[in-house]
Amino acid sequence: MSLLSRCFIFLSIVGVIGCADTTNSDNPNSSSNTTPQSTERTIAYSPSNNAYFGDLHIHTSWSFDAFIYNTRTTPDDAYRYGKGEKIAHSATDGIQLRRPLDFMAVTDHAEYMGVMKKMIEPEHPFFKLDIAQQIRSEDPQVSLNAFTNIGRSIAGNLPYKEINQEDIRMSTWEEVVKIADAHYEPGKFTTFPAYEWTSSPGDTMEIEGRKIPMARNMHRNVIFKGNKVPAEPFSSFNSQNPERLWDWLDMQRKNGVEVMAIPHNANMSDGMMYASSQFDGSPMTLQYIRQRMRNEPINEVVQIKGQSMSHPILAPNDEFADFELFAYTFTTSSPTPSKPQGSYVREAYQKGLAIEKQTGGNPFKFGLIGSSDGHNSAGALEEDNYFGKFGVRDGTPSQRLDNQQTRFLSNKYMSAAGMAGVWASENTREAIFSAMERKETFATSGPRIKLRIFGGWAYSKEDLEKDNWTVSAYDKGVPMGGDLKSQESGVRGQKSPSFLIWAIKDSEGANLDRIQVIKAWVSGDGQAQEKIFDVAWSGDRTIGAGGKLPAVGNTVNTAEATYDNSIGAVSLQTVWEDPEFDATQSAMYYLRVLEIPTPRWSTYDAKALGISIPDDLNATIQERAWSSPIWYTTNFE
């Protein structure tokens, strides 16, 4: 190369540095200019809202735990999967969703985000580290131990300093945001920059005289509305205390960053997620309650590691409470139970009303979503298209149904994933984020069931019969996630509000069994109560003695893993009033919609393997959807 041309290249680069600097400082928004901004309404815009289905909990190889089980796909692959493309999987020849999603967020663990992949790049300094050599070990025991140690360093809040490095954290996060932006198509596919705050306060549990290390799940996914984000995530290495996370989120909001946190797997929190006290055990203050609700309007309640809605011990009279239970804490040795009290939503809803009566604020006034928590850059959302949670650990039917597996996270007890539903005016970041803020959301155990509930004082039977019924439903009342305004003056007394209730099956799935209203309230003596009402059902069943609606039936052929839609209904609806309404008691109402029985994923696996279904597994499940509640609050005069 001639000296002259070297000089030229040098000068042109210097020139560019100068230019680049001025453009950046003159226009602070220059980086967001290239991303699509939905200032105009998209074609499907509807003021009475459309249902959109998505997954706000996906891990890729940039998460330490996905990586250890050989997931090598990236956030880019994850969004492609969400859009319907086929992507690679470590144990099979590829995975693909039958139906694309409407929206999605990749939520890799903030702790050690993007670090693991550096450990296998021979030219990277991390390659030579002891921990990297163990991770790469041919001996699965050594690599599993290394993984355990990394997990424990998160639970114990003692990060490996040599791999917890700022430059990796910041550049990985920058990539996360960039990839989310690149896949955002307003009107068609919405993405959110996001990550998981993996707070897992560690402890030991004594089982049969042995002290077993375990960790309680306090995890939250942190979802940003757009690409205006901080330079790096707030991880559990910054603090394991959710109140500190909320402080940080509040600070972000002051800087104009729109963001929320979504807790999940309360079922694995051993009573910590919905405890009656603050993180340090002190009583809840009104300030704490307001901060929690400001930052956590919705909770993820159903996913691959089970559901967090109800537990048979807490709801002994609920015949459908025993559904996809996964009541353990995190451990790598014997399974350690997670205590139900304080770990399930329905109890929290009751407790929230009682706390409100004492303090004036309800810390558990949140809406619901489901998601997958898949660690294959993809969620296994379909029972008959299942590929497990963790790469090579549970990627094939024989791995999943292995009866010898006694270690933590026995794969056969895991669920197929949940789904997030939102009622939003259009498929954009603005509209979907706003639906989540006002809790107009619902959770399903996988199927795309659509369900609606509106509450108000002025509805009549005819209001549900018009084709455009939702227009007046919004005019005369509030949708799921809302607060019933107090009755008009003069209409005092015991008149119940009316609820417009409607559900329709997944257009590619099973028929519906029934719609239930689940009510929680606080009685005069301050006691929390709950009751389940069957309000609409298929066929000509009648409620028998004891108030019980007969079962819908069962068309599942377990040997063949098939079912048919000869029972159940396409759509169910009703206008319902609470027969036990008491205007002096605060209450809340949400829907549970059940499908007819269908084969569980493990039943499809057993068929594929030609084996009988393991005794400890249900052959069928009744998939379901839960709406966010509508609250009625008295003024406690």
Partner 1 sequence: MNKLLREPLIHFLLLGGLLFALYSFLNKDEINPEDYTIHITKGDVDRLVKAYQKNWNSLPDSITLAAIIDDEVKTEILYREALRMNLDHNDEIIRRRLKQKYEFLVKDLVSLGQISEEDLQVFYRKHPKLYQYPRTISFSQIYFSPDKRNTPQQDAMALYTQLQQGGQAVSLEQKGDDFHLPTQFIKKDKDQIRQEFGKQFADALFQLSKQGWGTPIESGYGYHLIRIDTILPSQPIAFEQIKEKVTQDWQQQQQVRYNERLLENLKSQYSVRIEEIRD
Of 31, 41, 70, 100, the one binding partner 1 by CB under 8 A: 100
Of 573, 586, 598, 628, the one binding partner 1 by CB under 8 A: 573
Residues 6+ apart with CB under 8 A from 343: 266, 267, 268, 269, 270, 271, 272, 273, 274, 308, 311, 327
Distance of CA 320 to the CA centre of its chain: 21
From the number of C-beta atoms within 10 Å of its C-beta (0-12, 13-18, 19+), residue 476 rates as middle
Minimum CB distance to partner 1 smaller for 161 or for 254: 254
Minimum CB separation from partner 1 for residue 632, in Å?
25
Binding of residue 347 to partner 1 (CB under 8 A): no
* C-beta separation of 191 from 181 below 8 A: yes
Minimum CB separation from partner 1 for residue 464, in Å?
8
* Strand segments (E) across 29-138: 50-58, 103-106
Minimum CB separation from partner 1 for residue 489, in Å?
33
Binding of residue 44 to partner 1 (CB under 8 A): yes
Of 93, 138, 166, 167, the one binding partner 1 by CB under 8 A: 167
Binding of residue 13 to partner 1 (CB under 8 A): yes
State the Cα–Cα distance between residues 634 and 30, nearest whole angstrom: 50
Minimum CB separation from partner 1 for residue 365, in Å?
28
Q: Rule CB under 8 A: which of 574-603 touch partner 1?
A: none
State the Cα–Cα distance between residues 300 and 473, nearest whole angstrom: 27
Q: Rule CB under 8 A: which of 243-262 touch partner 1?
A: 251, 254-255
Of 184, 502, 576, 604, the one binding partner 1 by CB under 8 A: 502
Q: Rule CB under 8 A: which of 168-187 touch partner 1?
A: 171
DSSP tag of 557: B
To the nearest 10°, report the CA torsion of 110, 111, 113, 118.
170
Of 27, 277, 571, 584, the one binding partner 1 by CB under 8 A: 571
Minimum CB distance to partner 1 smaller for 18 or for 337: 18
Residues 6+ apart with CB under 8 A from 342: 269, 270, 271, 272, 273, 274, 275, 276, 348
In the numeric block, which tokens belong to residue 632? 């009625």
Binding of residue 476 to partner 1 (CB under 8 A): no
Minimum CB separation from partner 1 for residue 383, in Å?
16
Candidates 120-128, 141-149, 414-422, 545-553 — which segment interacts with partner 1 by CB under 8 A?
A: 120-128
Minimum CB distance to partner 1 smaller for 25 or for 406: 25
The 10 Å CB-count burial string (b at 16+, else e) for 348-358 is bbbbbbbbbbe
Minimum CB distance to partner 1 smaller for 85 or for 322: 85
Minimum CB distance to partner 1 smaller for 84 or for 360: 84
Binding of residue 43 to partner 1 (CB under 8 A): yes
Q: Is the dihedral of CA 592, 593, 595, 596 positive or negative?
A: positive
Q: x/- site string to partner 1, residues 504 to 523, per CB under 8 A?
A: xxxxxx--------------
Classify 153 as helix, strand or coil: helix
Minimum CB separation from partner 1 for residue 12, in Å?
7
What's the one-letter identity of residue 76?
Answer: D
Minimum CB distance to partner 1 smaller for 309 or for 625: 625
In the numeric block, which tokens belong to residue 206? 């004594």
In the numeric block, which tokens belong to residue 506? 């997944």
Give contact residues for partner 1 (rule: CB under 8 A).
1, 12-13, 16-17, 19-20, 23, 34, 43-44, 98-100, 102, 123-125, 167, 171, 188, 231, 251, 254-255, 465, 467, 469, 502, 504-509, 538, 569-571, 573
